[in-house]
Copies of this chain bind each other. A is one copy, B any other.
């Protein structure tokens, strides 16, 4: 597993050998990967990375994967576009440079391909033969696709009443897709039972028993942003919050780059973005609390609708430590932000992208984010997956007869 040395508990620091475990034996805290990162000349490491493939495996020296990972069959996500968003910057009043990190360019069009790719390599290392997860959307397709290409069997669990389109996206890769009569919570409880049962032997649940490895995939967003800026830290990052894992791993990635000398150390601020209809972390931030009180989600941003975000407290720490903030926007603002990004930069974002762009706008308007700083906003998914969010307010400017007179009457000439 390359530079990965052990798993270490984020709460008590207790170290455990690398394996398919996710909770600390001492305190039940979450485990994460601890590294022995390459020492030496940063310039040589930068060159080694630049000579690597155009995907996340260019950062293999910083990930829990073998050095020859790029030779194995995998979807090879990452190195998505960092789009210089000058037109959006003008509309928002950002003067220090604005970039959109657009993860809709990944193989199944969401950032989930990054985390699943690392989980696949961990499953290979542990000798698992079946890849699994519980999911309500993006993750099911990402696991199905990655398993297909990597030669794993897959068996993915979803609530039985998922929208037809999402079922097709999850089932088309030919693995087993199992509808569970119950809620998403029921699906999760069932999966936990399955992991403890002999049936589950040889099964890697990407976001449960492979979670410490899976989570590391999000670090690559930090690496790519800094490399694509010319090995430089931005001043501000706006990151969506579902479980909060992505935001904490981006912070971890930035700190690693500083420690390795790959970027020059300077202050950076991380801002978390939630939908108002599922904003427990934003609420706690505004109230000055350290504890995140669970909520029942009700928002169009379904990929962020985790009412009890496991990494919420860590997100609060990071936002406060870096001088950032956590903010939320309502469904109407999400839709407006999706359209704003589309009409200024030609990027059609999933609702989660509407949340980050909408929150960026609100942070500037409320003086919480300094628009003279260099800013990066994340789009983690594709608008094609959440067409319903914009459909009611998106249609033709006019419908006309096929004549010039009719076109003139429409007032668009």
Confirm or deny: A372 has a beta carbon within 8 angstroms of a beta carbon on chain B: no
Cα A155 to Cα B413 with chains together (Å): 9
Residues B348 and A172 in contact, CB atoms below 8 Å apart: yes
Residues of B within 8 A of A387 (CB): 165, 168-169
Given A87-B149, A148-B346, A407-B178, A107 and B107 touching (CB < 8 A)?
Answer: no
Across the A-B interface, the 8 shortest Cβ-Cβ residue pairs: A174-B343, A149-B346, A145-B346, A179-B399, A190-B402, A148-B346, A176-B397, A179-B396
Identify 9 residue pairs between A and B in the complex whose beta-carbon atoms are under 8 Å apart, listed by A's number.
A73-B87, A87-B149, A87-B151, A105-B107, A146-B346, A177-B397, A178-B407, A179-B398, A180-B401
Confirm or deny: A197 has a beta carbon within 8 angstroms of a beta carbon on chain B: yes
Residues of B within 8 A of A407 (CB): 178, 190, 194, 199
Cα A76 to Cα B399 with chains together (Å): 32
Confirm or deny: A408 has a beta carbon within 8 angstroms of a beta carbon on chain B: yes
Smallest Cβ-Cβ distance to A174: which chain B residue: B343
Cα A391 to Cα B166 with chains together (Å): 10
Interface set, chain A 61-104, CB cutoff 8 A to B: 73, 75-76, 79, 81, 86-87
Given A145-B342, A384-B382, A394 and B178 touching (CB < 8 A)?
Answer: no
Confirm or deny: A44 has a beta carbon within 8 angstroms of a beta carbon on chain B: no
Given A146-B346, A168-B391, A387-B168, A404 and B199 touching (CB < 8 A)?
Answer: yes
Residues of B within 8 A of A175 (CB): 343
Q: Which residue of the partner chain, among B171, B343, B408, contacts A199 with CB atoms under 8 Å?
A: B408
Residues A171 and B395 in contact, CB atoms below 8 Å apart: yes
Interface set, chain A 17-32, CB cutoff 8 A to B: none
Residues A109 and B180 in contact, CB atoms below 8 Å apart: no
Residues of B within 8 A of A144 (CB): 346
Q: Which residue of the partner chain, among B107, B109, B158, B164, contacts A346 with CB atoms under 8 Å?
A: B107
Q: Which residue of the partner chain, among B146, B177, B338, contacts A172 with CB atoms under 8 Å?
A: B338
Interface set, chain A 38-79, CB cutoff 8 A to B: 54, 73, 75-76, 79
Interface set, chain A 174-218, CB cutoff 8 A to B: 174-182, 186-187, 189-190, 193-194, 197, 199
Within the complex, the shortest CB–CB distance from A59 to chain B, in Å, comes to 16
Q: Which residue of the partner chain, among B160, B168, B338, B344, contacts A394 with CB atoms under 8 Å?
A: B168
Residue from A73, A173, A339 with most neighbouring chain B CB atoms (10 Å) = A173
Residues of B within 8 A of A403 (CB): 190
Given A87-B73, A396-B179, A168 and B107 touching (CB < 8 A)?
Answer: no
Residues of B within 8 A of A15 (CB): none
Interface set, chain A 355-388, CB cutoff 8 A to B: 382-385, 387
Residues B145 and A75 in contact, CB atoms below 8 Å apart: no
Residues A172 and B402 in contact, CB atoms below 8 Å apart: no
Q: Which residue of the partner chain, among B107, B181, B384, B412, contacts A385 with CB atoms under 8 Å?
A: B384
